[in-house]
Every structure is written in structure tokens, then in C-alpha cells.
């Protein structure tokens, strides 16, 4: 009997300022629900979710910071081996977007070849509370070499599955590209048309 090949598993880490909703997002992935005061204080936690992309299974192992970003004490171990970093900001806090620059410096130092994905959380908020404009997000995205820009709500669940599906797709594309060229090929994941499409799919819900 044919042996089932192992499912490709990719490490994904959440990163971003305190209060952007990383733990709420993590909690939603783990339980399918929202808790206004979800906490993960017992060291680093992970959750695994499997997605199927064009008939191929991909397992994402997602890591939350367990609050250590507050003291900027994330360790090399947190970043080590991450295929993608989800840079999470809060659509109602401008500083949470620009604050990602420092996190990008850290992540790129510890894990230089990760895929950088920009995630706007809290898209459930009323439009008057959403301070970040599409134009601001787009220019930040372009200036900082992100692979994808998506929005979601850990609270309502809107965009969450679509986002991780998109991440799985991009990683799978990159990994087949890397296999083909026997090395990392940063540009292979998505062409511009796909990128635009996925941004629309993500439904940046401002």
C-alpha cells in the first residue's frame, strides 16, 4: 500500500504591537470563537490548522507571542523557522501600523527569508472608528516589501479563514517555486493580478 506523504507543515508567527488582537485571532483559530479577554500567558502557544489549496493539503502551525511583545522580549526561538510572519495592526490605531517597522527589523534579523504578510484586524468596527485609509495601508504595504495585505476581524470572524487560506496558497506557491529552483525565490508566490485579487478577497473592510 502506498505510504501517505507527510502533510507540508509551515510555521507562522503573529507579530505586532500590544492590543492589536493577536491573541483574539489566535483564540479564534483555536476555538472558533471570540473572547474579549482571551489570554495566552502560559508560555508560547501554537495552534495547527489544515487548508487545502488546489487539492493539496497544507498545515499551518500558528504561534502567538504570549504577551512577551509588551516587554520586547521575543526570543530567537519564536522567529526560528517561520515561513511567514503575520504583521498584525489595528485598523483603528494608526500607530499600530507604523509600529510594525520595528518588528520587521527584528523578524528580518532572526529569520531573514520569511514571507511578510500585512494583516489589518478589527474590520468589524464602525467606519468612523477606522482611522487608517486604504491609501495609507497601500503605501505602507508597498514601501515595506509585503507579499500580501489582508483585513479581518478576530471578533466577527470575517476574513479569517480566507486570510489563512490565502497565506497557505502563497506559501505553497513559494515552496514549489523554491523546489523547482532549489532555493528560495522571493518573487514566485503571486503575480500582481493575483495579489490585487487576494487583497479584494481579503475584503479590507474599512
Task: State the residues that interact with Mg ion by CB under 5 A.
Answer: 22-23
With H, G, I as helix, E, B as strand and everything else as coil, classify residue 15: strand
Q: Given the complex with ligand GDP, which of 152 and 167 has the nearer CB atom?
A: 152
CB 199 within 8 A of CB 118: no
Residue in this structure with the C-alpha cell 515561513, named with its chain if needed: 83
The listed partner (Mg ion, ligand GDP, none) that binds 120, CB under 5 to 8 Å by sort, is none
Q: Check residue 96 for interaction with ligand GDP (CB under 6 A).
A: no
Per rule CB under 6 A, is residue 114 in the interface with ligand GDP?
A: no
Q: Which is nearer to Mg ion, 63 or 146 (CB)?
A: 63
Question: How far lies 61's CA from each of 12, 74, 95, 168, 190, in Å?
Answer: 6, 18, 28, 11, 22
3 state SS of 34 = coil
103 binds ligand GDP (CB under 6 A): no
Strands 56-64 and 45-53, by their bridges, are antiparallel
Q: Considering CB distances under 5 to 8 angstroms, the limit depending on partner class, which of Mg ion, ligand GDP, none binds residue 19? A: ligand GDP
List residues binding ligand GDP (CB under 6 A): 18-24, 36, 38, 121-122, 124-125, 153-155
Amino acid at each position: 500500500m502506498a505510504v501517505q506523504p507527510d502533510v507540508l507543515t509551515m510555521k507562522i508567527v503573529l507579530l505586532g504591537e500590544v492590543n492589536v488582537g493577536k491573541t483574539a485571532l489566535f483564540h479564534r483559530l483555536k476555538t472558533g470563537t471570540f473572547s474579549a479577554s482571551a489570554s495566552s500567558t502560559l508560555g508560547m502557544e501554537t495552534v495547527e490548522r489544515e487548508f487545502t489549496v488546489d487539492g493539496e493539503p497544507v498545515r499551518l502551525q500558528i504561534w502567538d507571542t504570549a504577551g512577551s511583545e509588551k516587554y520586547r522580549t521575543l526570543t530567537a526561538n519564536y522567529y526560528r523557522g517561520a515561513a511567514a510572519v503575520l504583521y498584525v495592526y489595528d485598523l483603528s490605531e494608526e500607530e499600530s501600523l507604523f509600529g510594525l517597522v520595528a518588528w520587521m527589523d527584528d523578524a528580518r534579523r532572526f529569520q531573514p527569508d520569511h514571507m511578510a504578510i500585512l494583516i489589518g484586524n478589527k474590520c468589524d468596527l464602525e467606519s468612523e472608528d477606522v482611522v487608517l485609509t486604504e491609501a495609507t495601508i497601500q503605501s505602507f504595504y508597498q514601501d515595506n516589501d509585503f507579499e500580501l495585505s489582508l483585513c479581518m476581524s478576530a471578533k466577527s470572524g470575517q476574513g479569517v479563514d480566507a486570510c489563512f487560506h490565502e497565506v497557505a496558497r502563497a506559501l505553497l506557491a513559494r515552496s514549489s517555486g523554491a523546489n523547482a529552483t532549489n532555493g528560495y525565490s522571493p518573487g514566485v508566490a503571486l503575480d500582481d493580478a493575483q495579489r490585487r485579487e487576494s487583497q479584494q478577497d481579503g475584503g479590507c473592510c474599512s
